[in-house]
Structure 1
Amino acid sequence: MVDLRDLAEEVFSRLPVTSLRGARSTCKKWNTNGGHALTIWIYHCDGLLLCIAKDFASFVVWNPYTSQTLWLKPPSPHPRLDWYSYAIGYDNGSKSSCRNSYKILRFVDPLRNGFVEYEIYDLSSNSWRVLDVTSDWHIDFYARGVSLKGNTYWFSRERYRAKPAVGEPFEVADFLICFDFTTERFDPRLSLPFHTGFECTVTLSSVREEQLAVLLQVDYLLRMEIWVTTKIEPEEVSWNNLFLAVNIEPFLDFQFGMSQGSFFLDQEKRVDVVFDKDTDMRFTRNIAYVIGEGGYFTQVDLGESVEYHRPFGCSYVPSLAQIKQ
């Protein structure tokens, strides 16, 4: 029998969770640059964090290990800045042994007809460019893409054009979509090991910068499944057998808010760490839930938070990556 407290301590000893509140002291710019307060969308790639300002009018690329920061503003702000999605990656075609070719993708592409824009910022040339992108798929605006080998992956669904006739099933295709920062384009659809309905939630995570993990939450069954890739490239994916399947009803009487949440895997211990809010405390405290096979379950209080948005946890490895000023 494994002691849950010992298991949780071992998992968290290997889990660097990014915390803006705890790390702000490493860089005075964090608090003084224009009085910006940072909020929801934090994105991670290769030891760099891309953090979006609360007013969505600016963002910062930050290396917590070296304390380097670079504040940026979008070239043509749109009135609805909160609609934008972001990603950070790098050019795999760079001949330099040191990665200086980092890029930022910023886009808005609503499910129904509306304002569409795809832009990319190249840190090496300090320039913005508009991308010509036409998609027949849709990425939810709240979905956080996951960086893997310099590219970013999202869960996506086919863009439906019209409602079905009365009595006909209302289903759309679902898949992974990858933005390749080297070619600066979205690659073909990648298959999933399952099919979802609109009563399901899908969240992505990376595993040691080598594999992609997918958490499927079936809302009405209070069931959670996790799948891990055996191979993942922008144009190819293969999956292993089901990594973990857990009925969470005995532990919790609510669904995780995974639409804006995050999770982390410990493959050796076969446990899943889900970051969420404590619903009993009116969403004032951040909680990490450790869930595993055989009924293993515990929760760790990560402290109080004035933000309603859920905490973000990722597998972070310190990097000497340089941010060109």
Structure 2
Amino acid sequence: MASSKRASSMRLLLPSLPSELIEEILYRTPADSLIRFKSTCKEWYDLITNNKRFIYNHLSHSPERFIRIENYQTVQIMDPVKIIQSDLPIPDEFRVPYPIIFMVHCDGLMLCKCDDWRARGRSKDGGLAVWNPVMRKIKWIEPSYCYRKTDYFGFGYKNSCRDNYKILRFPGPLCDRDPECEIYEFKSDSWRSLNAKFDWEVDMECRGVSVKGNMYWLAEKKEDFILSFDFSNETFNDICVCPRPCELRRLGCFNGDRLSLLQQNDEEETINEIEVWMTNKLSDDGVVSFTKYFNVNTPDLPDLLYHTDMARPGYSIGKYRNIMAWCEQDVRKDDKWYTCNTLYDIDESGIRREKETGGRRFDDHEYYYLFICSYVYVPSLVSCS
């Protein structure tokens, strides 16, 4: 009822304003609110639902959020600035025995690799879906033959045709067959083979990050480097060497056009020291390279990147040399172990803020099955169909 009254009030107030100004106001309105405003009038419905220019301009104004799946039952979305969390039931399609095991984000769409607990012990299992949490829409991607446990996936688009999203599938290092690589296109709704040379191995704990339509992974050949896949040319590229590797590291995006690398030492003499590295703009002509952005070496830093070797957090690098990270950690209370979800804001001086956002008894937790426990996510109106 309250949302209908707000929509009616806006309908009465806005017709007297120029259309350009109305759009500027709507650009700054959260995507989940705009979904409710679609019924305000026919013009707004068309603008919010079908106008690609408006949809992508709105996306460029949309602030980053964190998204995580709690205990295979709840979708949790966190505003890292205001530290406000919203919880929604997970779609029925993603409930056990068919849970999400990892995701890749692109333009507010989540590419979801799902397991199939009924197929445990087989080399072929699971499914693939594209999900827009704001629109609450899911598009299942049928395989050309099957998906495998060892598959890697990329998600992006051709620069000249942004709304024709593409999915890349290629095998991981444990594959027992000859390497095979495929591309799926939304518009044709079909897979096709892609010839590619595989003389490297992707870091098994790095599920990759999509930046400006291309995919990036941590990989290894003779040395550690950043492997990219260009969806416009449909080619793999070695774009730059990584900094001296730490055992614990995560690749991310900074400011929409650069890569960030978060590393945390686990050596006894530098326990928990955090390093943040940054590339130049990926769109720049010339060589891409990393430079150290800042590091933190203060007492009592949390283990951001280490939890059972698997449940790595989502993180975001701020403009003021700070890190926002949403983590799972084990804590002991009253002689019992619990897994707690904590949001950290850390800068060069150490922990600025921390807030426990939930948790549960350790023996009820199946975190060991998650590769990443939270993801950076940008709410959007982009269609997944």
**Normalised TM-score (structure 2):** 0.65
Residue 195 of structure 1 is matched in structure 2 by 244
Q: Secondary structure at the match of 1:205?
A: strand
Taking the TM superposition and a 5 Å limit, the aligned residue runs for 1:64-83 are: 64-77=133-146, 81-83=148-150
Q: Which amino acid aligns with 1:22?
A: V
Give, in whole Å, the separation in 2 of the partners of 1:66 and 1:231.
Answer: 31
> For the Cα contact (< 8 Å) 1:27–1:67, is it kept in 2?
no
Larger radius of gyration: 2
Residue 206 of structure 2 is matched in structure 1 by 143
Q: 1:28 to 1:267 in 2, by over 3 A?
A: closer
Q: 1:240 to 1:59 in 2, by over 3 A?
A: closer
Q: 1:173 to 1:259 in 2, by over 3 A?
A: farther
> For the Cα contact (< 8 Å) 1:26–1:67, is it kept in 2?
no
Q: Which amino acid aligns with 1:52?
A: K
Taking the TM superposition and a 5 Å limit, the aligned residue runs for 1:1-325 are: 15-20=64-69, 21-22=74-75, 30-32=91-93, 37-55=98-116, 56-77=125-146, 81-94=148-161, 99-110=162-173, 115-158=178-221, 172-192=222-242, 194-196=243-245, 200-220=247-267, 221-222=270-271, 223-233=273-283, 237-239=287-289, 241-247=291-297, 249-252=299-302, 256-257=306-307, 260-280=311-331, 282=337, 284-304=339-359, 306-308=365-367, 309=370, 310-314=372-376, 316-324=377-385
> For the Cα contact (< 8 Å) 1:263–1:313, is it kept in 2?
yes
Q: Which amino acid aligns with 1:68?
A: K
Q: Secondary structure at the match of 2:378?
A: coil
Give, in whole Å, the separation in 2 of the partners of 1:116 and 1:133.
Answer: 9
Post-superposition shift, 1:211? 1.7
Q: 1:235 to 1:129 in 2, by over 3 A?
A: farther
Q: How many residue pairs were aligned?
A: 288
Q: What's the % identity of the aligned pairs? A: 29
Q: 1:188 to 1:270 in 2, by over 3 A?
A: closer
Give, in whole Å, the separation in 2 of the partners of 1:209 and 1:16.
Answer: 14
- From the two aligned structures, give the one with the greater helix fraction: 2
Q: Secondary structure at the match of 2:253?
A: strand
Q: Which amino acid aligns with 1:40?
A: I
> For the Cα contact (< 8 Å) 2:342–2:357, is it kept in 1?
yes
Give, in whole Å, the separation in 1 of the partners of 2:195 and 2:88.
Answer: 37
Q: Secondary structure at the match of 2:244?
A: coil
RCO higher in 1 or 2 (8 Å CA, sep ≥ 6)? 1
Q: Which amino acid aligns with 1:218?
A: N
Q: 1:66 to 1:100 in 2, by over 3 A?
A: same
Q: 1:254 to 1:126 in 2, by over 3 A?
A: closer
Post-superposition shift, 1:46? 1.0
Q: 1:287 to 1:26 in 2, by over 3 A?
A: closer
Give, in whole Å, the separation in 2 of the partners of 1:85 and 1:234.
Answer: 27
Q: 1:234 to 1:279 in 2, by over 3 A?
A: farther
> For the Cα contact (< 8 Å) 2:240–2:289, is it kept in 1?
no
> For the Cα contact (< 8 Å) 1:231–1:239, is it kept in 2?
no
Give, in whole Å, the separation in 2 of the partners of 1:72 and 1:251.
Answer: 41
Give, in whole Å, the separation in 1 of the partners of 2:305 and 2:88.
Answer: 37
> For the Cα contact (< 8 Å) 2:66–2:326, is it kept in 1?
no
What runs of 5+ residues in structure 1 fail to find an aligned partner? Answer: 1-13, 159-171
Post-superposition shift, 1:111? 6.5
Q: 1:23 to 1:215 in 2, by over 3 A?
A: closer
Q: Mean Cα displacement is larger for which, 273-282 or 116-125? A: 273-282
**Normalised TM-score (structure 1):** 0.76
CA deviation map 1:11-61 (0-9, x unaligned) = xxx651113423699999920589753232111001111112122421210
